[in-house]
């Protein structure tokens, strides 16, 4: 059975997936990160979330994956991650976008992947930590705010 949340969000998510793909084609990720309030951090981190936020993060992950299946274009991990971060931000759920690679850049078998985690929830990209070496991490504005509050 499809949830009301999925029904309500699947078309807007398809639009956001297309917009994310277009933005990735015409501008740099650093600009996109600035627009959606993602900030680079030196070490990989996953923000802590509460039970209600976990439930919503799972729903967001499901609707992003469902939307990716309905787009007439190829929707890989990058537009899915951007779309997930936008939705998580709308619901004020802290998240982290992780960039990873396998192999080494000089080898032919070099592969890259992007995934989003919120708490223990893999919102998009699956269990990227187990297959990829993390080379970059961006935190959402809400994750930064939570960390700042905890440090005070």
Neighbours of 82 (CB within 10 A): 28
- The answer to whether residue 106 scores a pLDDT higher than 70 is no
DSSP state at residue 46: -
- The answer to whether residue 104 scores a pLDDT higher than 70 is no
Mean pLDDT of the chain: 90
Percent of the chain with pLDDT over 90: 64
Tell me which of 76-80, 92-96, 100-104, 112-116 is least confident: 100-104
How far is C-alpha 106 from the geometric centre of its chain's CA atoms? 27
pLDDT recorded at residue 90: 95
Q: Which residue has the higher pLDDT, 46 or 98?
A: 98
How sure is the predictor about 118, in pLDDT bands with cuts at 50, 70 and 90?
A: very high
How sure is the predictor about 107, in pLDDT bands with cuts at 50, 70 and 90?
A: low
For the segment 37-54, the average pLDDT, to the nearest whole number, is 90
Among positive and negative, which fits the CA dihedral 97, 90, 78, 57? positive
What digits encode the pLDDT tens for the residues 55-74?
Answer: 999 999 999 999 999 999 99
């Amino acid at each position: 059975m499809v949830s009301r949340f999925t029904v309500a969000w699947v078309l807007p998510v398809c639009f956001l997936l297309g917009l994310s793909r277009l933005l990735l084609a015409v501008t740099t990720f650093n600009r996109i990160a600035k627009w959606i309030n993602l900030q680079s951090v030196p070490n990989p981190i996953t923000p802590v979330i509460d039970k209600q936020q976990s439930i919503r993060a799972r729903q967001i992950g499901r609707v992003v994956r469902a939307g990716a299946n309905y787009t007439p274009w190829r929707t890989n991990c990058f537009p899915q991650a951007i779309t997930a971060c936008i939705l998580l931000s709308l619901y004020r759920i802290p998240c982290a976008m992780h960039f990873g690679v396998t192999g080494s850049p000089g080898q032919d078998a070099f592969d890259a992947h992007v995934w989003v985690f919120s708490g223990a929830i893999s919102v998009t990209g699956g269990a990227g930590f187990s297959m990829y070496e993390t080379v970059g991490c961006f935190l959402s504005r809400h994750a930064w705010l939570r960390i700042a509050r905890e440090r005070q």
